[in-house]
């Protein structure tokens, strides 16, 4: 894999491509879940290359992984509290919970319910909300629309826009290129581990990446 990409402060940047293109591998390296063999990863001017995931989260990068990966036997509230383990997050715990429940009123209604009993869409909302609880400066969302109905997909994308407007930069990894390019300021197309094309979301939409 060899790629160069950048997310500027306040942006939504889309990383699109087919299955097996290397999207999830790329973002796991950024988040510290996988270690790169070569290359450099910088965040706010500092090297985070090869740092363990917990240090990367502490610095402000949060990965919401593909497949939701909530803790099914724990309540919604307990899942959210697991996301609030960084120093900054613990200081803003109550404030962030209030924000989460305003973004996701359904989670507020179900906060004492086990996460495993939620619908697929609700579990995806919980995964995003748990990521928000870590006080991220950059949130990486890996296939957030996977397996959801069209109505729920639109809701998730509206939530992503809202998170971005609250001040969080977003790197969005998606197979749903059309919706991703509609909300992204810039985008990269990944093919077989390499960036084959880049530009603004509107430019790539015009070129037919739908």
pTM for the full predicted model: 0.90
210 pLDDT band (50/70/90 cuts)? low
Cβ burial, residue 195 (10 Å; 0-12/13-18/19+): middle
pLDDT at 140 over 60: yes
Assign residue 133 a region: left if phi > 0, alpha if psi is -120 to 50, beta otherwise?
Answer: alpha
Average per-residue pLDDT for the chain: 90
Of all helices (H) and strands (E), which one includes residue 89? helix 87-91
Nearest to 96 by CA among 129, 143, 62, 56: 129
Cβ burial, residue 88 (10 Å; 0-12/13-18/19+): middle
Give me the mean pLDDT over the 40-48 stretch. 88
**3-state SS assignment for residue 93:** helix
59-101 pLDDT, tens digit each: 999 999 887 789 999 999 999 999 998 888 899 999 999 999 9
User: Which residues does residue 14 pair with via DSSP β-bridges, in sequence order?
Assistant: 172, 187
**3-state SS assignment for residue 129:** helix
Question: Which phi and psi angles does 199 have, rounded to 5°?
Answer: 165, -170
Q: How high is the pLDDT of residue 152?
A: 87
Domain architecture of the chain: domains with CATH: 12-70+134-206 (3.40.50.300)
Q: How high is the pLDDT of residue 1?
A: 61
- Cα 39–chain centre separation: 22
Residue 159 contacts residue 12 (beta carbons within 8 Å) = no
Please write down the HEC assignment for all residues of 148-187. CCHHHHHHHHHHHHHHHHCCCEEEEEECCHHHHHHHCCEE
Here the tokens at position 196 are 């084959």
């Amino acid at each position: 894999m060899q790629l160069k990409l950048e997310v500027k402060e306040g942006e939504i940047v889309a990383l699109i491509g087919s299955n097996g293109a290397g999207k999830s591998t790329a973002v796991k390296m950024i988040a510290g879940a996988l270690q790169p063999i070569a290359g450099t990863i910088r965040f706010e001017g500092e090297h985070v290359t090869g740092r363990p995931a917990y240090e990367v989260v502490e610095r402000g990068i949060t990965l919401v992984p593909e497949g939701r990966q909530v803790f099914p036997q724990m309540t919604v509230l307990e899942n959210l509290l697991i996301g609030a383990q960084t120093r900054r997050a613990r200081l803003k715990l109550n404030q962030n919970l209030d924000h989460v429940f305003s973004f996701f009123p359904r989670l507020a209604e179900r906060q004492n319910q086990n996460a495993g009993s939620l619908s697929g869409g609700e579990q995806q909302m919980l995964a995003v909300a748990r990521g928000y609880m870590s006080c991220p400066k950059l949130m990486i969302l890996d296939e957030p629309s996977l397996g959801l109905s069209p109505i729920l997909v639109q809701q998730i994308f509206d939530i992503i826009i809202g998170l971005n407007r609250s001040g969080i930069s977003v790197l969005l990894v998606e197979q749903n290129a059309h919706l991703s390019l509609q909300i992204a300021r810039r985008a990269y197309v990944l093919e077989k581990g390499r960036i084959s094309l880049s530009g603004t979301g509107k430019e790539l939409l015009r070129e037919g990446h739908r």
